[in-house]
Copies of this chain bind each other. A is one copy, B any other.
């Protein structure tokens, strides 16, 4: 669909050889209004994209080559930049690109601009932030909770995958004041393995992950403060787990509430009725319902005997949890219809 007439923005992808980069490229093959002009990778610099990702043979991107990062070239030739680097690696590059071209729209996949205050970032990530002055230009890119802010900013901090699933799962109840905060809120999350990123690591080799299930980050995980801040809560108990599958996050969330089951269900349904990418479900979702898509499927219920609401929230961690959400954010900042290129449904099986 590339190359058809109509308006078109030029995009660069920095760090395009990882899982989020590959997913972004896949989604953009279906986007009629974007052309990818530059992909960078340190590891695969000089290689053809299709030598690294042969599944893109015959795609609109089949002639791309992984380039070294060149700030001038990207900042001057592109309208949008997707920065798919890890935290700490990202802010110097964002700063450089912004300095060269303040008109550039930057979608940053890292945690570097997610917090309201750089101090929180420095505490949580244990890193000194050298682009503090850009926080005023940046915002958190979860459109369902701050779409208007996104439209006005240059740097969009694409949310973490776990926070996306958990914030969307708690937001209606939080906004409506239905959460009894005298009891801790618990988010027990389970993620597919793409969440670990694309790197050689003994812990993520096939045999060590396959046919096993475990919790990790049990003593504390960096996504907990991100969740707490966005929900304006003092603390959230967050336990991530690793599921032997590629894609998907399912968060099972517990909070104390006076609200009844039907009331909760009605409130969630009403709250998200105009949000295309949130599907409030009549029954608990599976991650396979959303794999490969930008949907967040949510089910809410209540157990009277314990007074607990239970929310089940499912996303694709590299879809709505990363690259899908990045495209959604790009659509917003570029003024495209928000669902452009994202009306994709799960392969399911």
Contacts and interface: CB of A to CB of B under 8 A. Distances in A.
Interface of A: 1, 19, 22-23, 26, 29-30, 53-59, 183-184, 186, 188, 190, 192-194, 198-202, 204-216, 218-220, 234-237, 239, 241, 243-248, 250, 252, 254, 256, 276, 279, 281, 283-293, 295, 297, 299, 301, 303, 305-308, 310, 312, 314, 343-349
A199 B200 CA distance: 9
B213 A248 contact: yes
B349 A291 contact: no
Contacts of A219: 301, 303
Given A55-B348, A200-B202, A214-B287, 18 more contacts: A19-B207, A22-B349, A29-B345, A30-B344, A55-B290, A184-B306, A186-B306, A193-B210, A194-B207, A205-B205, A207-B246, A211-B245, A212-B245, A212-B248, A213-B245, A213-B248, A218-B299, A218-B312
Nearest to A280: B57
A156 B59 CA distance: 28
Contacts of A59: 343, 345
A345 B55 contact: yes
Nearest to A25: B345
Contacts of A234: 305
A239 B218 contact: no
A57 B205 CA distance: 23
